[in-house]
Copies of this chain bind each other. A is one copy, B any other.
Amino acid sequence: MTTATPSPPLADPTSRDERAALASRIRLSCMRISRRVRFESSSTIAPHQFSVLCRLSDQPHTPRELADIERVSAPTMTRTVAGLVEAGWVSRADDPDDGRQVILSLTQGGERLVHETRQAREGWVAQRMEGLTDDEIEVLRHAAVLLERIANE
């Protein structure tokens, strides 16, 4: 596309290879941070269970909705939800308008668990950011916008 650009840029324009190398570094860092946060921010709860609790912390959902969101089958979600209810983190309520449906919400204990787990995870990153200078924090502040764009695009 830019092949026909008349004046060649003077300051190093990031080449295709350089961008690819940078993409590789960004990906590796993100995956490693993600992995370490999951493994090292304790929380005894299983990943698929916690993921459901996070969805319910936004708003109540039916099992069908959760199954679609989490990309699992309905029977799998039935089982997952049963475990969360038994553990006291999720409560069930009949839908007043549709007798087939069930409405799932977080209990107080469930909300507390989500809050505490999120705090622990943020703490893991925050702790490793403590050694950074204000300039470096500024770099991360700008980078956060870009990472969010990449994550959500």
A4 at interface by CB-CB < 8 Å: no
Encoded as 1 (CB less than 8 Å from any B CB) or 0, chain A from 25 to 54 comes to 111111111111110000000000000000
A150 with B137: in contact, given A34-B31, A144-B22, A144-B25 (CB under 8 Å)? Answer: no
Q: How many Å lie between the Cα of A144 and that of B150 in the bound state?
A: 14
Contact A140 B34 (CB under 8 A): no
Given A30-B33, A122-B20, A149 and B137 touching (CB < 8 A)?
no
CB neighbors of B among A103-153 (8 A) = 118, 121-126, 128-130, 132, 134, 136-144, 146-153
- Does A14 reach chain B (CB closer than 8 Å)? yes
Interface of A is mostly: helix
- A142 contacts B139, C-beta separation under 8 Å: yes
**Residue A8 interfacial (CB < 8 Å):** no
Copies in the complex: 2
- A122/B29 contact (C-beta < 8 A), A22-B129, A137-B14, A149-B128 known: no
Whether, in the assembled complex, A79 has its beta carbon less than 8 Å from a beta carbon of chain B, the answer is no
Q: Is the Cβ of A128 less than 8 Å from the Cβ of B148?
A: no
CA distance A27 to B130 in the complex (A): 15
A126 and B20 contact, Cβ closer than 8 Å, known pairs A136-B146, A151-B36 = yes
